[in-house]
Homo-oligomer: A and B are copies of this chain.
Amino acid sequence: MKRIFLLALAIALISCNDQKLTSINVSNIDELQSAIDDSKAGDVITMKNGIWKDAQIKFHGMGTEQKPIVLKAETPGEVILEGQSFLKLSGEYLVAKDLYFKNGYTPDEAVIIFRNSPDSIAFNCRVTGTVIEEFTQPDRHRKDHWIEFYGKHNELDHSYIAGKSNEGPTLKVYLNGNEHVNNYHKIHDNHFGPRPRKGGPKAETMQLGASTTSMTPSYTQVTNNLFEKCNGEVEIISSKSNFNNFSNNVFLESEGSVVTRHGNYATISGNIFIGNDNPYVGGIRVINTGHVVTNNYFYKMRGTEFRSGLAVMNGIPKSPLNRYNQVTDVVIAHNSWIDCEQPIHFSVGVNTDQAEVLPPSEIRSARPKRVIFANNLVYNDRFTSYPIKAYDKIDGVKFKNNLLLSNKNMDSDREDFTLKSISNTLGDELFYTPAQYDGKLYDGYGFNDIDVDLFGKSRNQDQNYIGAIIPPVSDKKATVDYSIYGAKWFTPSTGNKDIKTHTVTNASEFMAAIKDANSEDILSLKEGTYLIDETITLAKELKITSANKDARATIQFDNLKTAFLMQPKGILHLENLNILGTADQDFFRTEDKDMSKAYGIHLNDISVENFKSVLDASKSSFADEIIVNNSTFKNCINGFLLDKEIDDKGDYNVEFLTITKSNFDNISNEVIDFYRGGYDESTIGGILNLSGNTFTNSGKLDKDEILINTRGIVNVTFENNTFTNNDTKFTAVLWGAKGQQPVNNTVTNSGEIKVVENIELKLVY
C-alpha cells in the first residue's frame, strides 16, 4: 500500500512537470519576441542555429526558482548574434544560455543588460555559457559596457568575454537605487579573456559601482573566474561599493590590479596572481576601509607602485568623494609572494612633493592606519630587493609573524619580516611552498575567520601554516586549468597555425600577395624595385621582408597620399627593405575613423626616405606597439606624429614606442611628437624607449621647438643617443617626477635636454 502510494506520487510529479513545461522553437526575432511575450514559468525558448543579425532581444518574464524561463541556443555556440545586437533581461528567474556575440557591437548602452528599462529590472536572472568576442564599438571613444548588472541576485557564469577595445568597463554593476543594493550578484567560472591595452582610462574589465555608490552595500560575488591578459588599464577590477567578494580567481598576466577603488569591506581571498615577470602586471591595490586580503598567492610579480603585487595606498585627508580615502582597518594575512621582486608597497601614491602643481584635495598624505599584516610569506631567491618598499612612514601597520625566505644578502634586523635562509621547498614549480616554518602564527581579532587555505584546506590547529598554502599541494592544482573557465563549447582562437611565405618578384605579385595572405603570413621580396601606386590598407598581421638580406628590395611609393593605411588589427612588420616616398605622402597613416582596435608597426633594418611623415596617426587610433630598430629615416618633414589625443582626458596614441639604433637625418619638423594630456593614473601612460639613435640636421621647422616631444608620457627611457646640428631650442623636455633622466647622450650644436620635476596637467576627475 505504502509503496503504491509513493509510486503514484512520483508519476503525478513527473506528469505535473511535463504538463507545464513548454518548449518553443523560434527562428527569427519576431517569433522570438512573440515567444517571450507569451512565456510563462517553465518555458524553454530555443533559438534556431545560424546567424541572427541585429538581434535586439528584450527578454522579460516571470519564472520561478523551480521553473525558470529559459532562452537557449539550439546548439551551444551556433546561435550567433551579429551586427547591432543585444540581450536585455527583466523579470524573475530567467536563464539565457549558450549564445555567441561576435562581428558587431551594441547600439545600446551594453550588450547584455539586466534590465529592460529603469522600471523593468531583473531579479534572480542568469546568463550562462555565453561568449562575447570582439563585439567592440567601431569608434573606440564611443562608450559602452558589455554586461550591465541591475537588480539583485543576477548571475553571469561559464561565459567567455574578450576583446573589448573601446571606452567603458567590460562589466559594470549599477547600484543607484534601492532596487540594486545588497544585490548578491554572482559572477563565477567565467573566462575574461584578453582585453587589449586601451591607451587611456575607462577600460576596466569590471567595475562595481561608482564613487557615488562608495557607501552602498553591494555584496557582489566574483569567484572562480580566470582573468587572462586583461590589459585595458591599471584596474582589472574596480570595486566601488561595499562588501564585495573577490575570491578564488586566477589573474594571469593581466596588466592591472584588483583595486578597492571606492567602497569598503571587500574580501579578496584565495586569488592567484601570475605575473610571469611582466612589469605591468599588478596584484591587489588597497584603498579605503575594512578590507580582508587573505590567502592570495602571487607568482613572479615585477610591478611597482600602482602595479605592485600588493599596493597599500596613502589617502587624501578628508578626501573628496571621488578621490582617495585613507586606508584603515585592513587585514592582510596568510598571503604568499613567490619569486617576486619587491612586491609589497606601502603608502603608494604619496605626492606631497607635488603640492605646487596639485590642489590640496589631490595630496595623498594620509598613511595607512590600523592595518594588520600577519602570517604572510615571501619566498624570493631571485632578487636582492627587500620585499617591502615604503614611500612614507609605516607607522599605522602592525606587522606580526611574517616570514621572508631568501639566500640573498638582506636586512635581517627588521620587525616586519623574519628572515630565514631557504633550505627546501614543497610542491611544484608554480605553487611551491617553503618547508621552513616554526609553527608560530599571529592570532588577531577576526583571524578565526581565516579558516581555510588558498585551496580550501582547513586551517585547523593541527595543520595551520604560514602563507597562503598548507602543504602538500595536490598535483592537479599545479597549473592553470583553462578547461574549467568560460563556455564549455568555446575555445578561443590561438592564431594562424599554418603560416605561409609568399615570395614575390614584382609589384603586381606583391599587391596580390598582400590581398591573399592570411594573417601572420610573410611576403618575401626578391631583389628589385617595386613601384606601388595604390595605398596598401592593412587589417591583418603581415611581415614584408627582402628575400635576401644582402640584396634588399626597394619599395617605391608614388602619387599617393599614404603608403600604408593601418586599419584595426593591422600589424605590419617590415624588415631589410629600402622604402622611398614623395614629399606629399605619408609612409604610415591610420584610418581617420572607426579605428576600433589597435594596430602595430615593427620596422627592423629598413631605410626610409623622402616622405611627408613617417607616421601620422589619427585621433582615436591606437597602436599597441611601434617598434623601430636599426633603421634609417632621411629627408622627411615629420617623424612619428602621435599627438592627436588632445582632449586631455588621459588618452594617447601608442602604448610602446621603441626606437633603437636608428638614424634620423634632415627631419625638418619634430622627430617624435608623443602626447598624453590630463592628470590620470589609470593607464601605463605611454612608454618611449629612445636608445642608441643618432639625430642630425633636424627640427628646423619645429614650432614647438622640442625635437623629441613627449609631453605627459609617463615612461621615457632616453639614453645613448647622439644629437648633432639640430635646430630646436630643446632636444627634449623630460618629466623628473616620473623618474625620467637623460643618460649618456651626446648633444652637439643642438637644443638642451631639460628635466622639469612637475608638469601641470588638467584634472580629469
Tell me the minimal C-beta distance from A663 to chain B in angstroms: 51
Given A178-B331, A214-B215, residue A320 in contact with residue B370 (CB < 8 A) = no
- Chain B residues with Cβ under 8 A from A322's Cβ? 318
The A317-335 residues at the B interface (CB cut-off 8 A) are 318-323, 325-326, 328-329, 331
Q: Are A321 and B325 in contact (CB under 8 A)?
A: yes
The A206-236 residues at the B interface (CB cut-off 8 A) are 211-212, 214-217
Q: Are A445 and B328 in contact (CB under 8 A)?
A: no
Q: Are B216 and A264 in contact (CB under 8 A)?
A: yes
Contact of A320 among B176, B329, B361 (CB under 8 A): B361
- Chain B residues with Cβ under 8 A from A265's Cβ? 217
**Closest residue on chain B to residue A181 by CB atoms:** B290
The A299-342 residues at the B interface (CB cut-off 8 A) are 318-323, 325-326, 328-329, 331
Is A247 close to B, CB under 8 A?
no
Is A107 close to B, CB under 8 A?
no
Given A215-B289, A290-B181, A361-B361, residue A328 in contact with residue B176 (CB < 8 A) = yes
Is A179 close to B, CB under 8 A?
yes
A320 vs B176: C-alpha distance when bound (angstroms):
20
Q: Are A290 and B216 in contact (CB under 8 A)?
A: yes
Contact of A177 among B181, B321, B329 (CB under 8 A): B329
Per-residue CB contact flags for chain A residues 633-669 toward chain B (1 = under 8 Å, else 0) read 0000000000000000000000000000000000000
A179 vs B265: C-alpha distance when bound (angstroms):
14
Tell me the minimal C-beta distance from A373 to chain B in angstroms: 14
**Closest residue on chain B to residue A289 by CB atoms:** B215
- Tell me if A's interface is mostly helix, strand, loop or mixed: loop
Q: Are B176 and A370 in contact (CB under 8 A)?
A: yes
Is A607 close to B, CB under 8 A?
no
Tell me the minimal C-beta distance from A609 to chain B in angstroms: 54
A181 vs B242: C-alpha distance when bound (angstroms):
14
The A160-213 residues at the B interface (CB cut-off 8 A) are 176-179, 181, 211-212
Q: Are B289 and A216 in contact (CB under 8 A)?
A: yes
Is A446 close to B, CB under 8 A?
yes
Given A215-B288, A361-B361, residue A178 in contact with residue B319 (CB < 8 A) = no
**Closest residue on chain B to residue A369 by CB atoms:** B176
Q: Are B181 and A215 in contact (CB under 8 A)?
A: no
Q: Are A215 and B329 in contact (CB under 8 A)?
A: no
**Closest residue on chain B to residue A372 by CB atoms:** B178
- Chain B residues with Cβ under 8 A from A446's Cβ? 178
A205 vs B445: C-alpha distance when bound (angstroms):
31
The A491-510 residues at the B interface (CB cut-off 8 A) are none
- Chain B residues with Cβ under 8 A from A321's Cβ? 318-321, 325
Q: Are A290 and B178 in contact (CB under 8 A)?
A: yes
A537 vs B288: C-alpha distance when bound (angstroms):
55
- Chain B residues with Cβ under 8 A from A264's Cβ? 215-216
Tell me the minimal C-beta distance from A318 to chain B in angstroms: 5
Given A321-B325, A361-B320, residue A445 in contact with residue B178 (CB < 8 A) = yes
Given A215-B215, A265-B217, A288-B215, residue A179 in contact with residue B445 (CB < 8 A) = yes
- Chain B residues with Cβ under 8 A from A370's Cβ? 176-178
A81 vs B242: C-alpha distance when bound (angstroms):
44
**Closest residue on chain B to residue A288 by CB atoms:** B215
Tell me the minimal C-beta distance from A92 to chain B in angstroms: 14
Q: Are A215 and B325 in contact (CB under 8 A)?
A: yes
A323 vs B361: C-alpha distance when bound (angstroms):
13
A288 vs B321: C-alpha distance when bound (angstroms):
12
**Most chain B Cβ neighbours within 10 Å, of A177, A321, A326:** A321
- Chain B residues with Cβ under 8 A from A214's Cβ? 215
Can you list 22 contacts pairing A with B, beta carbon distance less than 8 Å?
A176-B329, A178-B290, A178-B445, A181-B290, A181-B329, A212-B326, A214-B215, A215-B215, A215-B242, A215-B264, A215-B288, A215-B289, A216-B289, A216-B290, A217-B265, A318-B320, A318-B321, A319-B320, A319-B321, A320-B320, A321-B325, A361-B361
- Not counting A178-B331, A215-B263, A318-B322, a sample of 10 additional A-B residue pairs whose C-beta atoms are within 8 angstroms of each other reads A177-B329, A177-B370, A212-B328, A215-B215, A215-B289, A215-B290, A318-B321, A320-B321, A321-B321, A321-B325
Residues of A within 8 A of B (CB): 176-179, 181, 211-212, 214-217, 242, 263-265, 288-290, 318-323, 325-326, 328-329, 331, 361, 370, 445-446
Q: Nearest 3 CB-CB pairs, A to B?
A: A318-B320, A215-B264, A318-B321
